[in-house]
Amino acid sequence: MRKLFQPGLRITVNDKMQSGYTYLLTCAVGRDFAPGFAPELTPAQMLARGVFEGHYLTDCRGEFPAEWFMRAKLSPDGPDVSLNYFGVKSRQGLSVWRQNGWIIGPDVRGWFQWYCRYYLGRRLAEIDAVQIARWRSFYRHKAQILKNCPPGHTECRPRQRQALLQWAYEPDF
């Protein structure tokens, strides 16, 4: 039976990294974002292009809409850099995220997990404010590419472009 992701749905998470966590959707999917938070890509678009070496969310697909995974580039057996849109590794390991205090609240996998849950309609005011501020600060990478790369030369700064993609920014400009 297909899950209807709509306000009022309570989702319980049971995957390799989190068990028994429950959250409530309070907004419609992809709607009612905070002012100033305007991601350029949806989670489905990011997964289809190739992010996180195809290994992110492979064990928790039941939490999210099946449509997100229809075109996703996934590698359930382990990270595969060739699945990334730019074919390069552009991320820190989860241990680095933990050391730096970048894992916030119940989103044990980091920013992208938060974004997926936010996109679905979960709202947690304090955590949302922190994550949105982090997303805004990531724009500096797009500014660096705009300053240092000729327009349309997407081979320029591929690691920064891959990182932008993994933060829901359009990397092809």
Give me the mean pLDDT over the 164-172 stretch. 95
CA distances from 16 to 101, 109, 138, 153 (A): 21, 11, 29, 39
**Does the predicted TM-score (pTM) go above 0.85?**
yes
Structure tokens at 134: 């982090």
CA distances from 67 to 3, 115, 119 (A): 11, 16, 14
Residue located via tokens 């990478």: 141
Q: What is the pLDDT of residues 103-154, one digit of tens each?
A: 989 999 999 999 999 999 999 999 999 999 999 999 999 999 999 999 989 9
DSSP state letter for 34:
P
Give me the mean pLDDT over the 10-25 stretch. 96
Q: What is the pLDDT of residues 58-96, one digit of tens each?
A: 999 999 999 999 999 999 999 999 999 999 998 777 788
Structure tokens at 67: 């449509």
Q: What are phi and psi of 11, to 5 degrees?
A: -110, 130
pLDDT band at 1 (very low <50, low <70, confident <90, very high): low
Q: What is the pLDDT of residue 102?
A: 84
Q: What is the pLDDT of residue 90?
A: 82
The CA distance from 78 to 103, in Å, is 21
End-to-end CA separation in angstroms for the chain = 40
Give me the mean pLDDT over the 140-169 stretch. 95
Q: What is the pLDDT of residue 97?
A: 80
